Amino acid sequence: MTTHTIAMTSSTASLPYPATVSANQDIAVGDTISLTMTVSTNTYAEGMSLTASSAYAVFTLINCTVSPSTGVNSGETITVTPINNNAAYSCSATITHYHASPYPPVGTTQTKTFVLSGVVGVLPVYGLEIFDANGNSRLRYDNRLCKFHSVYTGTISNNTTISVPGIAADGTWGINNQAQNSLVQCFVGTNVIALNTTSFGTGGNLYGGNYNYEIIVFRV
């Protein structure tokens, strides 16, 4: 269980205006947040106005609770606790304060809203995990394993393609041309493997190169 500490403060420049201060913190069920919300002031009178009951924070909560939930003034600390896992949460607190002839509270009022939000927990993960004799993880549920898919062989004389349904250049497919002395270049495309011929060069075919291909396709 972890306690996260967050402090949000409105600027003195925003005192005569409505303003919103936001913060984000993802948490797990069992975690709590120690949250302090402060309205900055310029004068003693403005600060004193924030101690009045009319300046208590009014909370709007989604998927969380706060403690205390009443009688909370600017600068005081509350504890935010999540409720349900795998869901968003939000704690919004609005403080109404005076900013003109502020104390006693007979002046002009304004609001400051503090919004803390995030996500509670992560989706549970299930699967097989294999350990060696020393307790080291050797295979996890989130590992990807290479597996054979297919093999294609032949000879080309010009650039061409081979149809391979489903293949894509998305990082989960691989190919290898293992034909001996092959000069065929291979590239993964969408549903195809592109085969290109390459030049023997000005010296001619000195090393017995050919345009045969034997392409192993695998998936990871």
Q: Which domain holds residue 42?
A: 3-120
How far apart CA 97 and CA 105 sit, in angstroms, is 9
Q: What CATH number is given to the structural domain containing 13?
A: 2.60.40
Residue 63, by phi and psi: left (phi above 0), alpha (psi -120 to 50) or beta? left
- Could you give the number of structural domains in the chain? 2
Overall average pLDDT of the 182-197 stretch: 91
The answer on 114 and 154 residing in a single domain is no
Residue 69 confidence (pLDDT): 94
* Any domain includes 125: no
| 194-199: long-range pairs with CB below 8 Å, 24+ | 194/159, 194/160, 194/161, 195/156, 195/159, 195/160, 195/161, 195/162, 196/159, 197/156, 197/157, 197/158, 197/159
Question: Which of 95-99, 118-122, 157-161 is modeled with the greatest confidence?
Answer: 157-161
Residue 137 confidence (pLDDT): 81
The answer on 170 and 95 residing in a single domain is no
- Structure tokens that stand for 179 in this block: 């034909």
Q: Has residue 206 got a pLDDT over 70?
A: no
- Structure tokens that stand for 82 in this block: 């999540």
The answer on 211 and 112 residing in a single domain is no
What's this model's pTM, rounded to 2 decimal places? 0.54
* Any domain includes 158: yes
DSSP-derived secondary structure letter, 179: -
pLDDT-derived band at 205 (thresholds 50, 70, 90) equals low
